Structure 1
Amino acid sequence: MHPEMRRLSISVEMVDHWITVFKSIEGKEKKMNRKSSILAIMLTLTLLFSIFGPKEASSLDKVKVAYVAIMNFAPLYVAIGRDFMKEQDIEVDMQKVASGTEAMAFLAQGSLDAGGVGITAATFNAFNKGFDLRIVASAALQPQKEGPTIIIVRKDLKDSGKVKSIADLKNMKIAIAGGPGTTGAYFVAKGLKEVGLTVKDIEIVNLANPDMPLAFEKASVDAALVGPPYSDQIIAGGKGVLLAQDVAPGAMTTVFMYSGKFIKERTDVAKRFMIALVKGSRAMQGSMYLDPANLKAYLKYVTSTEEAIRKSKPQVYDPNLKVFIDSIKNMEEVFRWAGWTNYTTVIPQERMADPSFADLAVKALGPSKP
């Protein structure tokens, strides 16, 4: 039985009991002095509040969650900030980490229960090694069109006609934050694969996003995979122009994971956690994205400002946090094709993802409403 139903069942019995008591008090009111009546009523109200009021934090199920302080994992922030987790009798212990790779290490050890992770080659290497963790929900998705992450080429190369498309990037220097094997590298590799090139046909330069505008100024790179605000700076500076956009429309590049230990030993808590998480995503759809309660939740966990969030293009989240298996398979295939994994055979889907928790949450909540 769901925790709220158990509490409701107990509450109904207790309410009936105290109604009887209250009537008894009312019947004997003439024999009681006014002070005693008020005291009895206050006692009744106190007990009723203890039944219907929120559980004490100490009695909530604690879930330890790793997160990187970016908007990709905003459904989690909203689920906490708007008390959807408390509704499920869950207290979330947020553990900030530097990267998804760090989060995966803690999840594999079972020292953390859940986490937000960006999919990289290291993700699949971990699955191949038998790390006990699973993708259980999608986080931010790539938009179907006009995605923020784009490939920019030097303007002089485009103007001269030397580079007209991704196919013309052969033997050129391409800047990617984090270098080979990263989520950004996936976009570049996928684009190259589709035009018959390989990652060996280009030189990947590991360059931090904030350093990319200067690299274009100095012409030290030929192209870059970059997103706002740095892509805007490069184009506004007149040194770079758009070459390719929407290389992987709809791709599920960030996800929520559960540790194997959490799945096996605290299955009921894991189910309730997902219900709250899906409610968080649904509370952010469309115009609700900038709801004041949501903004407050974002700013508690993301290093940004309200103005910056309002000005930036909203992230895309599936209202049901669906696990897109085809997207996982495509990323795994591209990373393996590029030679960025330490294995060569396909990993079975069941070793990478478990969509059942998101599916059960949708059944519990019902269909999402537009």
Structure 2
Amino acid sequence: MSRVGGGAVAAGVAATVALFAAGCGGGSDQAAAKESCNGKTVSIGITKSASDAPFYVAQDKGYFKKQGLTAKFVPFDSAAKMIAPLGSGQLDVGAGAPSAGFYNAVGRGVKLKIVADKGSMPKGYGYMPLMVRKDLYDSGKVKSIADLKGLKVAEPAQATATSNTAAVLLASGGLSYGDVKHEFIGFAEQPTAFMNKAIDAALITEPSATVAEQRGVAVRLGDPPAFYDNQQLAVVLYGGKFAAEKSELGKCVMTAYLEGARDYVSALSDGKVSGKNADEIVGIVTKATGLKPELYRTIVANYVNPDGVVNTESLRRDYDFFKQQGWLEGNPPAVDDLVDSSFAKAAAEKLGAFAKAGS
């Protein structure tokens, strides 16, 4: 079931900070929240990708400042490289694509918590389509998923959530995960791999999917939400120490993040950043990422739940797939032990019900 939907963006600086106390009932709680958040600096890992939009919006529109915080963005080449500094306490907040490597790291003692949605694919927001090389499609060699048997299909890395996306899509064509040859190539490099005929098909995220399409080297063959609705592809992570010892600070960060997420979702329409206030969001995100505005307006957008709700059922489904493939080491913690929804729930309560702008 799609999670699109929700309630109204919060108002006023004083209300957002003070509501932590009001919801819990007392001036002492309010003082504690201010003491925990005001004047504090929080380090947040980013990859300068479009899926970091809620963080960019929260920063640009002053939502972190509204919580009394200074947000220090720390760039990483990939979300996977955030895991170690999050676990060691060198980084407070980050993001990740739940993978076998993620669960194995936690099993080895890296302390992490999944605290909010950062990228999911409900209906209309399939921002990681299955694409096939255009010459194969035009020639009639590949017209359906079943035709991929024995061909080279690219994923960004082995044993990620994308691997299960591939497995589900292949199953819809009567194929198993092992019926194709898997190539592991980063999303940004996949359009070139198509052009060089190094791959036959790929699960490729935006904006690389649209780039491949515009270059005339690949066409869309499968839309993941049609086969695996609302898959949880990216999540917000708190370092274990940050989550355990700085709970009020974590709520302040989450409140700012969800305000940014709600502005972002309000700008979405029909799977693209083309709704109310789209110009503002396009300006903020393209300035932060370097994407061309015309390209950003064209791509299929990633969805973010306005209340930060994580699709734990999807996480469990992918986890089970990793286990079936033999990719999990030892006995890593169960998904439910890693998801801490308390920060998002508290922030959503303080912000109130979400009502999409213009609705």
- Report the TM-score, using the length of structure 2 for normalisation: 0.77
Contact residue 179 and residue 204 of structure 1 kept, 8 A: no
Deviates more, 1:115-124 or 1:299-308: 299-308
1:336 maps to which residue? 323
Among candidates 239, 260, 268, match of residue 240 of structure 2:
260
Contact residue 137 and residue 255 of structure 1 kept, 8 A: yes
- Does residue 317 of structure 1 match 2:304? yes
Deviations 1:161-199 (A, max 9, x none): 6544333322221122x3322343332123234555433
Deviations 1:34-82 (A, max 9, x none): xxxxxxxxxxxxxxxxxxxxx9xx9611111111111112111111211
1:237-276 matches, within 5 Å, as: 240-246=218-224, 247-276=227-256
- Does residue 97 of structure 1 match 2:76? yes
Residues 271 and 289 (structure 1 numbering): CA distance in 2 closer, same or farther, change over 3 Å? same
Percent identity over paired residues: 28
Residues 175 and 295 (structure 1 numbering): CA distance in 2 closer, same or farther, change over 3 Å? closer
Deviation of the 1:106 alpha carbon: 0.7
Residue 139 of structure 1 aligns to a residue in which SS?
A: strand
Among candidates 116, 119, 126, match of residue 95 of structure 2:
116
Residues 273 and 236 (structure 1 numbering): CA distance in 2 closer, same or farther, change over 3 Å? closer
Residues 174 and 317 (structure 1 numbering): CA distance in 2 closer, same or farther, change over 3 Å? same
Letter in 2 for 1:145: G
Residue 367 of structure 1 aligns to a residue in which SS?
A: coil
- Does residue 203 of structure 1 match 2:181? yes
Deviates more, 1:84-93 or 1:327-336: 327-336
- Distance of 1:90 and 1:170 partners within structure 2: 52
Deviation of the 1:132 alpha carbon: 0.8
- Distance of 2:189 and 2:96 partners within structure 1: 24
Gap regions ≥5 residues in structure 1: 8-54
Deviates more, 1:276-285 or 1:230-239: 230-239
Deviates more, 1:306-315 or 1:324-333: 306-315
Letter in 2 for 1:355: S
Pair member with larger Rg: 1
Deviation of the 1:147 alpha carbon: 1.7
The structure whose RCO (Cα within 8 Å, separation 6+) is larger is: 2
Residues 268 and 213 (structure 1 numbering): CA distance in 2 closer, same or farther, change over 3 Å? closer
- Report the TM-score, using the length of structure 1 for normalisation: 0.75
Residue correspondences, number: 319
CA RMSD after TM alignment: 3.1
Residues 232 and 84 (structure 1 numbering): CA distance in 2 closer, same or farther, change over 3 Å? closer
Contact residue 146 and residue 245 of structure 1 kept, 8 A: no
1:53-132 matches, within 5 Å, as: 60-132=39-111
- Does residue 180 of structure 1 match 2:128? no
